[in-house]
Structure 1
């Protein structure tokens, strides 16, 4: 079988198991006679007929694992029928080994170290089997059944590490991952994003009217639907006290002693006046708000100084369907999250859960902050180190937002000696120039150094998707902030109703507001229920590449020699809302701008019921300027799994030339990303065919969205 990685583990016979320091991880492979789960390797993507032949042999495909390897359910007691009868397309088959189950970091340390873990079950475990499996987990962990918390086929338990190998031997267990604490990622920005720019022949300004955005964060100002910050007018629909719910006859509490949540809400849809800065207006200043208060209590373990307290987010809970689904029923189709965990690869507990919900709810747009784990401590000063995304941000189907720099170079910070803040204030993270001496908010073409970088692990997916300003962001201040909690590290505001904060936390709500505006424009232009994929495609297609900074100190800048292509620092670029809206409004007037939301019977698949490709023609008029660029973006919501489950190809052809998604001038195809883009410079007048082709569909059918525009 090919070299593969599952849950961070290589095949047991490739030496991965020998790296474990725990004495318990010499796990023998189970026999197919007692296991109902196998891996099969095929010669290539499976056709509809081949999938049926597998079903006829009692093989249930559960997940694609990369390199033509599939995880499958299989109840027969021998692999011989697969090897002998399906050899035309099945090259290998083996039992799913317990060594794949436990993530590598949990295999280190001492046997008696306690770990809080999530035990993820295989996707085909039925409700009738849950009670038995929970009993098995409790027995192997040597804990009471009542201590096994089960949500969405995943159980959370606290056990000594010596018990993990026993849990891994339970046949129904697919993966075991460590539970990490989630934490928050702590008027000029809108100008950088080109929000509020009139578009179309009617010069229409879109501000999210009719749209509902849910913010899941610490809390909302006073925690009341009356007497709150004036930036929100009468546009607050509901507050949900998830972190401090009603109990013992006392009402729940949604106020914001931390201040993070109120600031985030203001960046999505606030509007008001600052005593010195004038009008402060978020992108979606006419949208309405649903707020989920996640804060439960402060972690004061670092000492009595309020600035050192971390806000606990107990209100997130263990069920993403619960977090996303309830507010969706209130009309909130945009859900923004400025929190996450420490850097991790794609994990069952977070990434797969989120993707699973979005696969089943394809018109819900969910955003996550990339994280603030960017550091420059390796051997390449001036280049922020890769692979620092939070596990939520690694999810394929969310919009992952990184932070670029704002343009407020003169805002002074008390912690910087009443001078502008520089990245060297975080000495352990940015010890080298030129980053250490750089003003955090003086170059909108540069990335914020702290912004978490991609690509994702294990397979190198492009993330973040987009970036937006995230340094020295001025927004609403909660009236309930614990005195001294936030201080003024990001800058001093002379108006107590407003405060400066920074982080990917601040970039993400700006993009959420842009998504609400895009959705509102689609609804106004006769698309009553746009998919999340379409909103994401329009957002990304409108983004502009970052030019980077530090070029005088570093010949290749911070992005390397190719800044136009999507990259693991800024993704597909900085959001430009006006460009995205021109895709929608101009679509009524010109074929050079357009979009398609391809769903239902028109979706692609490799079975007998669905077509295998879709094509659209884009015409570049003869009287077009000589230096037009054609940009085409393809997005689809993929089935959950650390690898790409349904693989589509983007092909743009014209003038005797063919270009492929994310390949630049190369001739290959992208087998990793569910966002693909072709940027074709200096296109000649004529017809160009945009083709979307199904290469592999583990789960049929696959809807998708396209956006394209030609611009000078």
Structure 2
């Protein structure tokens, strides 16, 4: 393979510039301990060992077939001569500063303030082998620049600094620095929803216990404006993280918290519950009275630790854009989320998708970015709610700061299978250079319009930048409750669903002491409903349907999940080319009356944690489902996750789903396990073994009526009457 053009921190890097005679070619590595290594194909274990003998340490995988490497010797000729290497060259300071920030520095026009005096708030990311030496590098930067130590501070994995233009250029020349980018400004993404999410739907008496519990014993951390812990829907079930306050003058956090765990009564609608009414909330205030958000990935660690014990973390805010929207590439915020998800593999992290979608069918590349674009989080978009409302006409005008002709007449349809028009869409932004690495986002959607939840009694409408949702989305007849709209509202609803799923895993799997976040994610996504007429860029894998997700916990054959016990973790540590096989057992005899020919659908979902080196996949795992019914040509039918029949494995997404419709009887009854699920390690960029977690969830449903009806079945369903009790129209 010829040298590839790739993107590093948004900068295009052409292979020719890295090779002899090229603009950035260096004869040796005497000026740096870090080299950029581009290979012709996926490195084999033998090639990795050979590079190790040559003192090349693979650190991270920032682009396709390309590595950041630690290399202390000076001579590069022996590495360059290897037949599987496109080029080996020092990592140049020209690539360190993110392209968008470089453009801003070059075109700066600050009016009365000279550009050289303006300080930019930036993240400084270090090479992988220096992430545990933040304080030492901080001191080095302070010494090199001769600046006030207060201008540079250490965070979880990065340094935060306020630097002038010429100082940024000097920091880019420090060998240990890998990336410099501007810190974006964040902003909030502004019990009828239980019905829309199918929490009230129990599939038959035998399965009624599947959703009972409502998150009992689960702790959901919510980073927001605070929580009014004296509201009747929340009283006694809110804990405040040390240093935060137990008040909420802006109202957003209280509304969010009650959507997740609330339980109260409304004069207007009677009992109102969140999606996990038996869970508790850990409140972490990150929004000050001026509406500014202070964010650090350390908040995940703090909520997770033994003192607080949160295993679900809900976040309803996104990057705030001034002026024309421009989708950000995979940035330091996304990397921090992905890295923290790996460090805390039991923590389920959720982010709102954002409210940046255009209100008309305007072609764009997508709006999901920063934390919401992270690979290892659950990103939640908004569909509409079916809640009736008296405001007439009910429009989206409260999302338009400046009136735009044609936008104000867009009515809410009250259809849960229609996207909320403001909900940010995917896919993620393609990295400049190299193969297309746009990923499916959001992961799921949930109701985000006219969400009725708790209203803070401490609401102060005189505060700057106060959200209008509590007023303009409609005024309820009961002042203890309010309506709000946005992906901010859909996210805690899904967080509560995750709490319910996690609680059920804990109840059922006594030998699984560590519940991986990817297992919760896989079970959630496995039950989602595809919204017909809405594309994948908008809805991701579909609308959350908790009742259907919970079916994998039933005792029906053809329904299950993995891992189920601690010993399963050892089976995850596969090498490149190795695969895990799981059989899907089905009844060995047709349980239906003569004359009925059922047709089935098999749904399988696989999720795994991936490194934060780049937007695309670093480690590549594939999901394949195979049917043990031989075709005339001697092969077996098979499907890959996220792909149509006959298409190759998905090499972009670490969430992969197979929906295999129209499986005809009697084939399923001729083999005790007619389907096989395979998870294969296609590529390990950095390690000899896969070191993270992956998980699977699956279920079989009967589609004999040819519409949205389904029933979950096993050999104990002998009659049509028995089957009909399990029927439910979604």
Report TM bin, short chain.
Answer: 0.7 to 0.9
Task: Return the offset for 1:395.
Answer: 0.8
- Identify if the C-alpha distance between structure 1 residues 432 and 572 changes in structure 2 by more than 3 Å, giving closer, same or farther: farther
Who is 2:489 aligned against? 506
Who is 1:465 aligned against? 443
1:133 aligns with one of 127, 134, 137: 137
Q: Compute the RMSD of aligned alpha carbons.
A: 2.6
- Structure 1 residue 182 corresponds to structure 2 residue 160: no
- Identify if the C-alpha distance between structure 1 residues 436 and 45 changes in structure 2 by more than 3 Å, giving closer, same or farther: farther
List per-residue Cα deviations over 1:197-227 (Å, max 9, x = no partner): 33462522421112111111110115xxxxx
List per-residue Cα deviations over 1:460-493 (Å, max 9, x = no partner): 0111100000011000011100046545111111
Task: Return the offset for 1:156.
Answer: 1.4
2:231 aligns with one of 185, 208, 229: 229
Partner Cα separation in structure 1 for residue 640 and residue 309 of structure 2: 37
Who is 1:90 aligned against? 85
- Structure 1 residue 529 corresponds to structure 2 residue 524: no
Partner Cα separation in structure 1 for residue 58 and residue 521 of structure 2: 29
5+ long unaligned stretches in structure 1: 17-25, 223-227, 246-251, 299-310, 413-418, 549-557, 560-566
Partner Cα separation in structure 1 for residue 571 and residue 15 of structure 2: 44
- Identify if the C-alpha distance between structure 1 residues 175 and 599 changes in structure 2 by more than 3 Å, giving closer, same or farther: farther
2:334 aligns with one of 351, 355, 360: 351
Who is 1:582 aligned against? 551
Who is 1:691 aligned against? 678
- Structure 1 residue 672 corresponds to structure 2 residue 690: no
| Partners of 1:359 and 1:640 within 8 A in 2 | no
List per-residue Cα deviations over 1:102-126 (Å, max 9, x = no partner): 1111112235353111111111016
- Structure 1 residue 338 corresponds to structure 2 residue 316: yes
- Structure 1 residue 147 corresponds to structure 2 residue 151: yes
1:644 aligns with one of 593, 617, 622: 617
Who is 2:227 aligned against? 220
Partner Cα separation in structure 2 for residue 345 and residue 62 of structure 1: 25
| Partners of 2:15 and 2:87 within 8 A in 1 | no
- Structure 1 residue 9 corresponds to structure 2 residue 11: yes
2:275 aligns with one of 267, 270, 283: 283
Q: TM-score, normalised by structure 2?
A: 0.82
Task: Return the offset for 1:689.
Answer: 1.3
| Partners of 2:5 and 2:14 within 8 A in 1 | no
| Partners of 1:596 and 1:706 within 8 A in 2 | yes
SS, match of residue 568 in structure 1: helix
Who is 2:434 aligned against? none
Who is 2:604 aligned against? 632
Task: Return the offset for 1:436.
Answer: 5.2
- Identify if the C-alpha distance between structure 1 residues 334 and 430 changes in structure 2 by more than 3 Å, giving closer, same or farther: farther
Task: Return the offset for 1:595.
Answer: 4.1
- Identify if the C-alpha distance between structure 1 residues 589 and 12 changes in structure 2 by more than 3 Å, giving closer, same or farther: closer
List per-residue Cα deviations over 1:630-651 (Å, max 9, x = no partner): 1111100112222312110111
Q: TM-score, normalised by structure 1?
A: 0.84
SS, match of residue 480 in structure 1: coil
- Structure 1 residue 474 corresponds to structure 2 residue 457: no
5+ long unaligned stretches in structure 2: 109-114, 321-325, 432-436, 630-635, 669-673, 704-730
| Partners of 1:423 and 1:430 within 8 A in 2 | no
Partner Cα separation in structure 2 for residue 405 and residue 69 of structure 1: 43
Task: Return the offset for 1:318.
Answer: 6.0
Aligned length: 639
1:420 aligns with one of 385, 390, 393: 393
- Structure 1 residue 116 corresponds to structure 2 residue 121: yes
SS, match of residue 479 in structure 1: coil
SS, match of residue 166 in structure 1: helix
- Structure 1 residue 262 corresponds to structure 2 residue 264: no
2:699 aligns with one of 694, 704, 709: 709
Task: Return the offset for 1:131.
Answer: 5.1
| Partners of 2:337 and 2:374 within 8 A in 1 | yes
Partner Cα separation in structure 1 for residue 504 and residue 260 of structure 2: 16
Who is 1:363 aligned against? 346
SS, match of residue 256 in structure 1: coil
- Structure 1 residue 69 corresponds to structure 2 residue 79: no
Who is 1:211 aligned against? 218
Partner Cα separation in structure 2 for residue 130 and residue 369 of structure 1: 30
Who is 1:48 aligned against? 45
Task: Return the offset for 1:540.
Answer: 0.3
- Identify if the C-alpha distance between structure 1 residues 29 and 184 changes in structure 2 by more than 3 Å, giving closer, same or farther: farther
Task: Return the offset for 1:579.
Answer: 0.5
- Identify if the C-alpha distance between structure 1 residues 542 and 131 changes in structure 2 by more than 3 Å, giving closer, same or farther: closer
Q: How does 1:489-638 map to 2 (within 5 A)?
A: 489-526=472-509, 527-548=512-533, 559=535, 567-584=536-553, 586=554, 588-596=555-563, 599-606=568-575, 612-621=578-587, 623=590, 626-638=598-610
SS, match of residue 599 in structure 2: coil
- Structure 1 residue 437 corresponds to structure 2 residue 439: no
Task: Return the offset for 1:287.
Answer: 1.1
SS, match of residue 94 in structure 1: strand
Task: Return the offset for 1:383.
Answer: 4.8
Return 475-484 or 138-147, whichever deviates more: 138-147
List per-residue Cα deviations over 1:253-294 (Å, max 9, x = no partner): 331000000000000010111111121111101112221122
Who is 2:713 aligned against? none
| Partners of 2:250 and 2:461 within 8 A in 1 | no
| Partners of 1:409 and 1:439 within 8 A in 2 | no
Partner Cα separation in structure 2 for residue 126 and residue 180 of structure 1: 22
List per-residue Cα deviations over 1:351-371 (Å, max 9, x = no partner): 111111111221111111111
| Partners of 1:320 and 1:354 within 8 A in 2 | no
Partner Cα separation in structure 2 for residue 694 and residue 391 of structure 1: 27
- Identify if the C-alpha distance between structure 1 residues 194 and 516 changes in structure 2 by more than 3 Å, giving closer, same or farther: same
- Identify if the C-alpha distance between structure 1 residues 568 and 320 changes in structure 2 by more than 3 Å, giving closer, same or farther: farther
Partner Cα separation in structure 1 for residue 13 and residue 416 of structure 2: 45
Partner Cα separation in structure 2 for residue 520 and residue 665 of structure 1: 36
List per-residue Cα deviations over 1:592-619 (Å, max 9, x = no partner): 4444458531114327xxx811011124
Who is 1:248 aligned against? none
Partner Cα separation in structure 2 for residue 441 and residue 143 of structure 1: 56
Task: Return the offset for 1:393.
Answer: 0.6
Partner Cα separation in structure 1 for residue 225 and residue 134 of structure 2: 34
List per-residue Cα deviations over 1:364-388 (Å, max 9, x = no partner): 1111111111124xxxx42574421
Who is 1:373 aligned against? 356
